[in-house]
Amino acid sequence: MVSENAVPDRQYARLDERSAAAYAATCPPLARDGDDPGEARAREVGDGNLNLVFIITSQSGRSCVLKQALPYVRLVGESWPLTIQRNALERHAYEVYTSITPDLVPRVYHADVRQALFIMEDLSHLRIVRGALTEGLLFPRLAEDVARFAAETMLRTSDFYLDSGEKKRLAARCVNPELCKITEDLVLTDPFFDAPSNQIEPELRPAMEELWQDMRAQDSVARLRHAFVTRAEALLHGDLHSGSVMADREETKIVDAEFAFFGPIAFDIGMFLANLWISAIAHHTTRPEDPFAGVVLGQADHTWRCFAARVETMLVEAPIWRLPAGARREYLLALGRDAAGFAGAEIIRRTIGLARVADLESIADRPTRLRAKTAALAAGRALLRESPAIDAFGEAHRLVGRGVDLAS
Ligand code: SR1
Ligand code: MG
């Protein structure tokens, strides 16, 4: 049971470590069954682009995480205002996920809509997957867990599993225009012309200018953008990259669901695969003799296979709407093509867009970093160009593998 805001009239105020600790000390899980948790201490650990994230520990040894939305994009500053209602939407997404895959999302204890915050379980025993990958660490359950999360949460919120009225009512509760606009712009528009938000090193400009002239890639991105904007198929996480997944050898948790909305099913899995592929490209460029890049490519392949197999089984078992075999095959083929295309756009934006990634940016040696980024841009462009015609998702893996000389 999630407790609700204790002081409903208090206007939004940005918390700092002191006020966050004082706030959390009065709420579950720190204050539990009326016992005094003692003085609490908070540490702000948010390293994402949008929010404040505090880890709070009480004297009695209990801990939790408090996440508060800032009224602007943290990465850019107050010049880019952003709705704080995204916090309530994220919590609502966790409620839906908890009813479907409770083991794969954090437990939420307390929420305060006015303060645009919620308190959830402390997951600091887990690693953020992007950081772990950068250090050459992979987790055995990751591929299967992410595939299960994506397939289960999306299919069970789609017209295949929900009565059409129920699905539309849920979709109406998950309308998220401001966060969707960020994705429409930063993932599916700006990288594909000379937009001011792009951050292109001079050496990469020729490759980008070629991409901007490449009508096959441009057609593909236009089609994907149209799908993203118009196809309200299922509840998406909306930002399922390796920085939104925490894991260790035993468990996996999906976090940062503030981009959740009803969109095309291929988007989330495409985004996750793209970020594995970026990691593989970065590793292969920096240490070509190290087998880790090949292992990451293998995990991407495994993620897709688990996802596609589960989607197929769920389509066969769907209670509301079962596609006949031919339509099911076409649906899965289209899903693979769109996922590969979305992955291409994500790879490109993470390489030269506003929100780039540590996998590439942390390569200290400039010539090596530029070689990794060149390979990433080539892989992204190949995915965009070829994805509308691939007959099996393995072709997408080969396109990426070819770009880093790891094709099987
Ligand atoms: C302005 S927000 C930039 C990026 O951060 C989030 O994690 C999303 O990936 C978004 O595109
Ligand atoms: Mg995030």
Q: What is the DSSP string of 150-198?
A: HHHHHHTTSTTTS-HHHHHHHHHHT--HHHHHHHHHHTTTGGGTT-TT-
| Low-confidence residues in the chain, pLDDT < 50 | 6-8, 407-408
Q: From atom 9 of ligand 1, which residue's Cα is the shortest distance away?
A: 239
pLDDT at 59: 87
Overall pTM > 0.75: yes
pLDDT at 407: 41
pLDDT at 47: 83
pLDDT in tens, 206-233: 999 999 999 999 999 999 999 999 999 9
Q: Which value, to the nearest 10 degrees, does the dihedral of the CA atoms of residues 177, 158, 151, 359 take?
A: -10
Are 279 and 248 a contacting pair, CB within 8 Å? no
Closest ligand 1 atom to 48 CA: 7
pLDDT in tens, 373-399: 999 999 999 999 999 999 888 899 988
Give one word for 256, left, alpha or beta, with left for phi > 0 and alpha for psi -120 to 50.
left
Ligand 1 proximity of 345 Cβ (cutoff 6 Å): no
For the chain, the average pLDDT equals 95
pLDDT at 403: 67
Q: Report helix, strand or coil for 257.
A: coil
Q: What does each C-alpha distance from 282 to 53, 122, 127, 143, 261 come to in angstroms?
A: 28, 30, 19, 19, 31
Q: Which of 337, 339, 188 is nearest to 266 (CA)?
A: 339
Share of the chain above pLDDT 70, in %: 95
Q: From atom 4 of ligand 1, which residue's Cα is the shortest distance away?
A: 355
Q: Which of 166, 342, 186 is nearest to 270 (CA)?
A: 342
Tokens 């682009």 found at: 49
Ligand 1 proximity of 377 Cβ (cutoff 6 Å): no
pLDDT at 2: 75
pLDDT at 408: 38
